[in-house]
Chains A and B, each alone.
Chain A
């Protein structure tokens, strides 16, 4: 049984951005030389997601924008607000990114793929993305391969 972990860093360059992690995930699986097993991908951050979707530019725009509609950074005045908008004494600043935390929950923070004959088992259209809701920021993603 092989269990190997890695942390990779990406730098988002926009406030909302989808960054295709598929090449890094596949390269790590190759490097681990596991024939059969699983690869686990998880963001280390609570204002970002890991999602699996088709790798096209239009969806890369639609996904974060739709999540922003569901959980906006600044709700329309008079509609609703967030309890998170308060001093966070452990951070020395106000939390005013509750919408980004909620988008992270809606999008999910991890993905898992089977490894078959040394390759990541996924649909022909599927890509694994890091989704940024609060960029630009340097972000860490955890990868772990388990298998034989």
Chain B
């Protein structure tokens, strides 16, 4: 198998970026809410090597309205992507800010970012709120995927109600050409997220789920007990992407968990690479 793609990482611990932009230390600690040590970017790449991951999608979050802060700006994502050709940059915009669609267009057309990250619970908007639809329309026109935080968020103040899969149905139905990825299997609503993906071929799920125990045990529970593994293998193998949510879950640990499930090699190839490549327009 060619090297995989980690579709969901936050570069918040990159030491080089904190040295260049000291405000990113506060963003990591107080906004993104992660306590691990800052690390050289080399460490992230070494970890990817260790688990057969070639490339990683790195995402910012624009929480201007809800937190008066960004966890990386789009320009900072461009900056870190310039440090390694193994990083694929996504943009973020705040749907509650005027000009969000135009900002997204600039991020994609001018800055060269390849997708959009939205975290409704953290950004404090409901995914099916019409105020966000111009952003979805722009993403659809630009032909980029949206990676949505879905399900439970650890971040203080991030409400569960904005992460329920059914809040994403209007998005999937209204924009059939727009591919959306519900992160974290939308846990605890894995059944609902699977139902949405079964009904709408433009709905994908990512594997970055860990809410108790350890990645191996948790994923076994979510993907074999909450929903039978055969559903992912037979029905959703083209709509499941590998994502780790690094640094909340190390890429190596999530890769091991996904590989331990018992999915076929054909399915693993799609989950680790093929589906992400397709979402990225056939080029990674």
Contacts and interface: CB of A to CB of B under 8 A. Distances in A.
Interface in A5-38: 11, 13-15
Given A14-B50, A92-B35, A136-B47, A86 B212 contact: yes
Name the interface size band of chain B.
20 to 34
Nearest to B248: A93
Contacts of A73: 214
Interface in A46-86: 73-74, 77, 81, 85-86
Interface in B247-274: 247-249, 252-253
Interface string B20-61: 000000000000111111011011001100100000000000
A13 B39 CA distance: 13
A90 B36 CA distance: 9
Contact of A94 (B35, B36, B211): B211
Q: Taking each of A11, A86, A87, A138, which has the highest tally of chain B beta carbons within 10 Å of its own beta carbon? A: A138
A77 B260 CA distance: 13
Contacts of B15: 138
Contacts of A96: 210, 213-215, 253
A81 B34 contact: no
Contact of A93 (B39, B50, B154, B213): B154
B160 interface: no
Interface in B202-224: 210-217
A93 B214 contact: no
Contacts of B214: 73-74, 85, 94, 96
Contact of B252 (A15, A74, A91, A93): A15
Interface of A: 11, 13-15, 73-74, 77, 81, 85-88, 90-94, 96, 135-138
24 contacts: A11-B43, A11-B46, A13-B46, A73-B214, A74-B214, A74-B216, A77-B217, A85-B212, A87-B154, A88-B35, A91-B34, A92-B35, A92-B154, A93-B34, A93-B249, A94-B212, A94-B249, A96-B213, A96-B214, A96-B215, A135-B46, A136-B43, A138-B37, A138-B39
